[in-house]
Structure 1
């Protein structure tokens, strides 16, 4: 395994889902409602949720009346998500670095699911694939952490106990990456994983978007769609065409 593909292994473990099992669905759903209303997406819109994880956002978007396809690299996550499939909701294993074989009316990239790669060219390739996978006048919704705020408020050490597993978490920002080292003892052995997300601020993301020919139409700083403020906003949300 190369270090750049840390996510393939970590996202496929049961421990990843244990550590994050209390993620706030309310926020996610609020954001989906707000953004689809703001963009006035007709119910006929076919949305690609990429990467979709275990499908929680896809399921909710589908419940709002949209046709949704969820794509993710993790076979285990897709296997889990397939139980929710219906006539207007489907899931498939897809690596964002590979081009799509069809086009969509909207592509959503949610909850900091970007910037995993050492080489900028790979991140740009993903954006190119997304752009090529969008129908004319389609929207790309990109939801990322606010790197500047993360940097200012970095919690370097933390311990979380979930399902009787003690997760030791250490964070650092090194060589342009936000690193989260996670170690724990479970099922009779020690485990350790590192999440790596590129330090991408508004300036860097704007340069990426410009490179592939996206036009940014809106910049928000939270799931209530307030304006982005690099000091105080929790998220960096870009809408592009």
Structure 2
């Protein structure tokens, strides 16, 4: 039997949502507001939220008056997101490496490190190739990724978090260019182990992948205030690119 991919088991687990329940929603909203101001989209613009999770960012973008489709590989995430569906807001289970139906979008948003899940550059590049197919001519993609240089330099190897009565023992390491996080969970008498693996992609990796997929990079930012990217200081690597042909 083929072993289940780490992201299928972990993202469908209730413990994933417990561990990351305290994400800063206000920071996320401010970032999206700045991104929308940067793009200045028309009222008819259509957005594809790639790796949408439970749909929090799709819902927020839709609240600004735009048509949004959120897609995610996790059945559990999409089941929860579908509770918020309405006209101009839809959710589907979808593998981001594949083209989404026959729809064409003005913008693809890939937010909060929903990229780099696959072990090879080639496999991750399929996400950009599919995004190219999903965009209209001159459509734009926003990729919000971690700054791998900073993560590796400041790697916290071990930590313990206790959330809602659940203990998370987290061990981090760099393995063959992958930022690997082993997560041991103790919930009463039950114990589980999950893993996260994100490829430590650099700006140059993205430059190569985007170029090969016929994207032109327009801007590179280093934080959610959309300030200049600095490999040694920036917490994020945020790229904005435009579809060519």
Task: Please indicate, yes or no, whether the TM-score normalized by the shorter chain is above 0.5.
Answer: yes
Partner of 1:27: 27
SS across alignment from 1:8 = helix
Q: Work out the CA distance in 2 between the residues paired with 1:53 and 1:115.
A: 15
Give the alignment's TM-score, normalised by structure 2.
0.95
SS across alignment from 2:118 = coil
How do 1:6-155 and structure 2 match up within 5 A? 6-101=6-101, 102-155=103-156
Q: Work out the CA distance in 2 between the residues paired with 1:33 and 1:236.
A: 18
SS across alignment from 1:54 = coil
Q: Which runs of 4+ in 1 moved over 6 A?
A: none
Q: Work out the CA distance in 1 between the residues paired with 2:42 and 2:33.
A: 13
SS across alignment from 1:98 = coil
Q: Work out the CA distance in 2 between the residues paired with 1:186 and 1:113.
A: 27
Gaps of 5+ in 1: none
Is 2:221 the partner of 1:210? no
Give the alignment's TM-score, normalised by structure 1.
0.97
How big is the shift at 1:187? 5.4
Q: Work out the CA distance in 2 between the residues paired with 1:103 and 1:15.
A: 35
How big is the shift at 1:105? 0.8
How big is the shift at 1:2? 3.5
RMSD: 1.1
Gaps of 5+ in 2: none
How big is the shift at 1:52? 0.3
Q: Work out the CA distance in 2 between the residues paired with 1:138 and 1:214.
A: 10
Q: Work out the CA distance in 1 between the residues paired with 2:162 and 2:40.
A: 41
Q: Work out the CA distance in 1 between the residues paired with 2:47 and 2:153.
A: 34
Q: Work out the CA distance in 2 between the residues paired with 1:122 and 1:224.
A: 30
Deviates more, 1:97-106 or 1:58-67: 97-106
Tell me if structure 1 keeps the 8 A contact 2:166–2:188.
no
